[in-house]
Amino acid sequence: MTELIVKREGSNSDKVSEVGQKIKLAVDEIHGEFEDHLLAINENTSEIQSNYEFSCELDNKITKLNERIDEIYSILGKLTGKKIKKISRYEDIDPLTTMEKNVFLNLYTEEKPVNYAELAKKINMSISLTRQYITNLLEKGIPVQKKYIKQRPYIYLDPKFRNLQAKKNILKIEQKILS
């Protein structure tokens, strides 16, 4: 009878050991897959970062080109004695909805770049909805700029556009909306 108990205990011990080995193998396999996944994430993050840096370089080059074009217009105006009218790239802005105007005005009144969460809180709207309205503004031709501070996106209006809007009310925003 004692031999039977020992054999049963021994077979349970073998089963426990076998289950433990299977669990260890499964955990090792999951760990390997997790490491592969982390590696892929790091590679994607590096690619995204390099794409962002490239787009920043491109943006700087475009800004410099625009400045040179402005200089050329100025020189041509001096040479010909006539003021050369530049075609405003803001003439083709689609009309804004009331909510888009609200988002625009709140962004317009910001003195410094603001992140999406701050803007969303200011206009009492969800962050995702705020992002969507900013996307709508961009699609309609409003020059919303983005820069990263400590890897967080901050948005602001192009200063030239802000001044133009103040002088000419390009967006035709009525005073009653401001109230």
The per-residue pLDDT for range 86-136, each reduced to its tens digit, is: 555 666 688 899 999 999 999 999 989 999 999 999 999 999 999 999 999
- Tokens representing residue 163 in the block: 């001044």
- Considering only residues 124 and 36, tell me which one the structure prediction assigns the higher pLDDT: 124
Rounded to two decimals, the pTM is: 0.52
What local confidence, expressed as pLDDT, does residue 85 receive? 61
Share of the chain above pLDDT 90, in %: 33
Mean pLDDT of 143-149: 90
Q: Picking from 7-21, 24-38, 52-66, which range would have the lowest pLDDT averaged per residue? A: 7-21
- Return the domain boundaries, the chain: 1-86, 98-178
Mean pLDDT of 44-55: 81
Write the DSSP assignment of the chain as a string of letters.
-HHHHHHHHHHHHHHHHHHHHHHHHHHHHHHHHHHHHHHHHHHHHHHHHHHHHHHHHHHHHHHHHHHHHHHHHHHHHHHHSSPPPPPPTTTTPPPPPHHHHHHHHHHHT-SS-EEHHHHHHHTT--HHHHHHHHHHHHHTT--EEEEEETTEEEEEE-HHHHHHHHHH-TT---HHHH-
Q: Does domain 98-178 have CATH number 3.30.9.10?
A: no
